[in-house]
């Protein structure tokens, strides 16, 4: 009888402890569960809970070429569709000279379904920093982050510049992945109090600006800067400064808890065509849908090689070199069979091979979106040059054999 009573007391005590731990940060445990179980149904909308809606009006609609007016050959477009299908893509969109040449979706997907950006969202942090500079809310890319993240004002981390954050050369550590739900490697992307986790990130052993090291937390800190300089919620800033003027559709920003901080290194849910609109904004040197989003000078700055990585600009990837992907620089499973035929190609990049390629010299935008969640969202072997190079080879008015990279 005493043994049964003792066991009951232990079980009750454990239940009390578990209950206390859970309710200290319930979103951590819900997020952890979603993290380890996500990616099972590739045909469902890719929304992440909790989220906040950005309701655009979809007003920017590009014309679609007829089979007779296409400027890219049918054979090239069919080969691109087959490649997209082979890698279980959700969407492939090809735009040449402002006209949609092909808009392809598999049978289980549609134009209005929500896709996951993953790290393509990082590119928008540099874009919004540029908007803040244009508006005088930020003085310079060389400003120390402690000027805006006041918690670091008297801390060595506060001397990291915005430029170093944007070029992935901040010198901050990144928590490695661990299955331990109490680790910062899990907490920064699942805790309902993720700001606290991010702001306790320590410095690494190397000096800021001395080397390139891809780090998700750089983009999360940039997102904090964006919200603080504009003094508004991130979803409101993104809507006002980009989504509304570009004529975007219905999108969703993932937050760490309802009403909490937005994730800005990943996790922007949107229809595929919204990313094509963003590609057109880059092609338009900061202008789209009749609206100036950011200065052309800033787009040029974003797409310059950084001092620490020739393949990377300001939160954006550059395909200027051969090979276009240095070893260890790309997402797992990516390959490059050769250089881009047009060496001025640049691109967004998200886990699961989410891409928008922009080729200014050929007025070309190509988009590929697919499953992004789960342990292995895409099979290995995706060639990041194939779709763009196939489109370029298929131009009915052939391009020059090779277009040189920008001089920077």
Instruction: Give the HSE-up count for residue 24: Cα atoms under 13 Å, Cβ half-sphere.
Output: 8
Helix residue spans in 89-204 (DSSP H) = 120-134, 162-166, 184-190, 194-199
Each residue's pLDDT tens digit, 229-280 = 999 999 999 999 999 999 999 999 999 999 999 999 999 999 999 999 999 9
pLDDT of residue 190: 86
Instruction: Give the rounded percent of residues in the chain with a pLDDT score beyond 90.
Output: 77
| Number of C-beta neighbours around residue 295 at 10 A | 16
CB 391 within 8 A of CB 363: no
Tell me what the mean pLDDT of segment 317-330 comes to: 85
Rounded to 5 degrees, what are φ and ψ at 303?
-100, 15
Top-confidence residue, 165 or 31: 165
Structure tokens at 22: 């859970």
What pLDDT is attached to residue 94?
Answer: 99
The crossing angle, in degrees rounded to 10, of helices 74-86 and 386-393 is 170
Residue 189 has pLDDT above 90, yes or no: no
Nearest to 392 by CA among 91, 93, 73: 73
- The separation between the first and the last C-alpha atoms of the chain, rounded to the nearest angstrom, is 81
Residue 131 has pLDDT above 50, yes or no: yes
Residue 395 is given by DSSP the state B
pLDDT band per the 50, 70, 90 thresholds, residue 391: very high
The dihedral sign for the CA sequence 27, 31, 33, 34: positive
SS3 assignment, position 255: strand
Query: Residue 19 pLDDT > 80, yes or no?
Result: no
9 pLDDT more than 60: no
Count Cα neighbours of 259 within 13 Å in the Cβ-side half-sphere.
0
Distance CA 352, CA 380 (A): 10
pLDDT-wise least confident of 6-20, 281-295, 380-394: 6-20
Is the pLDDT at 26 greater than 90? The verdict is: no
Would residue 259 be called left, alpha or beta, if left means φ above 0 and alpha means ψ between -120 and 50 degrees? left
- Domains defined for the chain, CATH in brackets: 51-106+113-393 (3.40.710.10)
Give the integer Cα–Cα distance in Å for 113 and 394.
29
Short-list 284, 295, 248, CA closest to 363: 284
Can you read off the two tokens belonging to residue 372? 């992004």
Q: Are 341 and 392 in contact (CB under 8 A)?
A: yes
Tens of pLDDT, residue by residue over 164-181, are 999 999 999 988 777 777
Which of 79-93, 139-153, 157-171, 175-189 shows the lowest mean pLDDT across its residues? 175-189
- Among residues 220, 117, 219, 224, the alpha carbon closest in space to that of 168 is found at 219
Whether pLDDT at 133 is above 90: yes
pLDDT tier, 219 (very low <50, low <70, confident <90, very high otherwise) = very high
Which is more confident, 201 or 404? 201
Question: Residues near 231 by Cβ (< 8 Å), separated by ≥ 6?
Answer: none
Kind of pairing, strands 334-335 and 382-383?
Answer: parallel
Q: What is the pLDDT of residue 45?
A: 75
Q: How far is CA 301 from the centre of its chain?
A: 18
How far apart CA 260 and CA 235 sit, in angstroms, is 11
Residue 50 has pLDDT above 80, yes or no: yes
């Amino acid at each position: 009888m005493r043994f049964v009573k003792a066991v009951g007391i232990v079980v009750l005590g454990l239940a009390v402890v578990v209950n206390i731990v859970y309710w200290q940060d319930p979103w951590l445990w819900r997020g952890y569960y979603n993290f380890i179980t996500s990616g099972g149904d590739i045909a469902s909308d890719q929304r992440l809970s909790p989220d906040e809606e950005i309701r655009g009006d979809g007003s920017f609609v590009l014309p679609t070429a007829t089979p007779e007016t296409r400027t890219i050959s049918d054979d090239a477009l069919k080969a691109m569709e087959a490649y997209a299908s082979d890698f279980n893509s959700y969407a492939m969109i090809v735009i040449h000279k402002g006209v949609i040449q092909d808009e392809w979706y598999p049978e289980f997907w549609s134009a209005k379904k929500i896709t996951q950006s993953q790290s393509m969202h990082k590119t928008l942090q540099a874009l919004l920093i540029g908007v803040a500079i244009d508006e005088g809310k930020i003085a310079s890319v060389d400003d120390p982050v402690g000027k805006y993240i006041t918690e670091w004002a008297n801390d060595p981390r506060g001397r990291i510049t915005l430029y170093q954050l944007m070029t992935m050369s901040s010198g901050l550590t990144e928590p490695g992945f661990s299955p331990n739900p109490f680790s910062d490697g899990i907490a920064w992307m699942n805790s309902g109090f993720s700001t606290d986790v991010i702001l306790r990130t320590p410095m690494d052993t190397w000096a800021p600006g001395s080397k390139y090291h891809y780090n998700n937390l750089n983009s999360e800190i940039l997102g904090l800067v964006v919200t603080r300089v504009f003094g508004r919620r991130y979803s409101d800033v993104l809507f006002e400064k980009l989504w509304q003027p570009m004529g975007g559709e219905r999108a969703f920003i993932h937050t760490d808890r309802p009403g909490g901080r937005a994730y800005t290194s990943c996790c922007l849910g949107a229809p595929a065509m919204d990313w094509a609109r963003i590609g057109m904004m880059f092609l338009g040197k900061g202008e789209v849908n009749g609206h100036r989003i950011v200065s052309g000078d800033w787009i040029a700055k974003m797409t310059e090689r950084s001092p620490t990585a020739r393949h990377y600009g300001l939160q954006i990837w550059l395909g200027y070199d051969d090979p276009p992907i240095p070893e260890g620089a790309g997402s797992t499973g990516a390959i490059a069979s050769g250089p881009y035929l047009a060496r001025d190609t640049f691109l967004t990049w998200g886990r699961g091979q989410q891409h928008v390629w922009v080729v200014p010299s050929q007025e070309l935008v190509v988009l590929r979106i697919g499953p992004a969640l789960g342990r292995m969202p895409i099979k290995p072997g995706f060639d990041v040059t194939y779709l763009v190079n196939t489109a370029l080879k298929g131009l009915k008015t052939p391009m020059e054999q090779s277009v040189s990279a920008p001089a920077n």
